[in-house]
Amino acid sequence: MIQYLKCDEGFKEIENWEKDCWINVVNPTKEDVNTLTSHFNTPDYFIEDLSDTEERSRVDRDEGWLLTIIRVPNRIIDEDNDSIYTTGPIGIMVKDDIFITVYYGQNNVITNFINWSNQKKIEKRSGFDLYISIFLESTFWYLKYLKQIHTKMKQAEEKLSEKMTKDDLMRIMNIEKFLVYFTASLKDNESVLVRLKRLLTKGTYDDDLFDDADVELNQALNTAKIYSDILEHEQAAYSAIINNGLNQTMKKMTVITICLMVAALVPGFYGMNLTNGMEDWIYGFPFALCLTGVCAGIAYYLCKLFK
């Protein structure tokens, strides 16, 4: 689907392309790709690259086009009504007065940016300012989702402090996976922003807007790293607690085994098919039981003494 959006107190959809309008392409079909290549002479390979959900962020130049891929965050609700955080690519193509964004699948960044622009009644936003605004919007959503992930971390910590279960440990592992995706994508986006500053000509964009994008990106990247470090240390602590509990259990089982082995010696000796003088003694069996208990008690005392 191809949308033509014009900025006039927010982005309003128009029927045909006009100068300085925004061409937003969602889940492009073959007809959409043909329209873009025939009317605007866009490189078709770039749109094909975006169909790969694992495509990494990058900046290229080709026949006057500035071609950029950035990875943006997304949240999906699974069957258990739980949140799954992922990242996906968005392509931005800029040439003269032509501005095109392309993406596949669900994307909250573009939709919410358009809604925000309409609420704030933005009067003018086009060219590289629009480019940087979309970049900045994606960073805002990284920070928003990181706060949600942090809340999930706290909830998992509370459950693990009460009782350590397999499901809770798996939940921690999933959170770590989300943070790895976010950190990797933010690092790639940081490389794009650094290169973009070298490629863009001074005066073609708003310096303050670019600085805001840079600051917010660094904040998101540092936040993701901090949460990852916290989670890594927590997992190490949980692992130590599990190992300590296992060691205590094994120690108890070892003491019990030793005590039973020593106690088993007495009935073992007296149970042999040999004459030992206790066959006709009325107190023979109670004596053997008492001796067994004494031996087990001595073994337990020695284990506690030399633990």
3-state percent breakdown (helix, strand, coil) of the chain, nearest 5: 60, 15, 20
Q: What tokens does 243 get?
A: 């190992």
Q: Starting at the edge strand that comes first in sequence, how are the strands of the sheet with 22-26 ordered?
A: 11-14, 2-7, 22-26, 98-103, 83-95, 65-77, 58-62
- What is the pairing mode between strands 2-7 and 11-14? antiparallel
Mean pLDDT of 46-67: 86
Q: Are the CB atoms for 10 and 120 separated by under 8 Å?
A: yes
Q: Which residues contact 27 (CB under 8 A, 6 or more apart)?
A: 1, 103, 104, 105
Tens of pLDDT, residue by residue over 127-153, are 788 888 888 889 999 999 999 988 888
Half-sphere exposure of 35 (CA within 13 A, CB side): 15
Q: What percent of the chain has pLDDT over 90?
A: 10
Taking the chain, what is the end-to-end CA distance rounded to the nearest angstrom? 73
**d(C-alpha 286, C-alpha 282), whole Å:** 9
Tens of pLDDT, residue by residue over 229-271, are 888 777 666 666 667 777 777 877 877 777 777 777 777 766 6
Return the pLDDT at 275: 65
Mean pLDDT of 54-72: 88
Containing 70, the helix (H) or strand (E) segment is strand 65-77
Q: Which residues contact 28 (CB under 8 A, 6 or more apart)?
A: 1, 2, 36, 47, 102, 104
Return the pLDDT at 63: 81
Q: Are the CB atoms for 290 and 270 separated by under 8 Å?
A: no
Range name among 18-27, 116-125, 239-248 with the lowest pLDDT average: 239-248
Phi–psi pair at 169, nearest 5 degrees: -65, -40
Q: Are the CB atoms for 172 and 164 separated by under 8 Å?
A: no
Tell me how long the chain is: 307
Return the pLDDT at 215: 92
Burial track 232-246 (b if 16+ CB lie within 10 A, e otherwise):
eebeeebeeeeeeee
**d(C-alpha 269, C-alpha 13), whole Å:** 97
Q: Residue 273 pLDDT > 70, yes or no?
A: no
Higher-pLDDT residue of 27, 231: 27
Q: Residue 26 pLDDT > 80, yes or no?
A: yes
What pTM value is reported for the model? 0.75
Q: Which residues contact 218 (CB under 8 A, 6 or more apart)?
A: 190
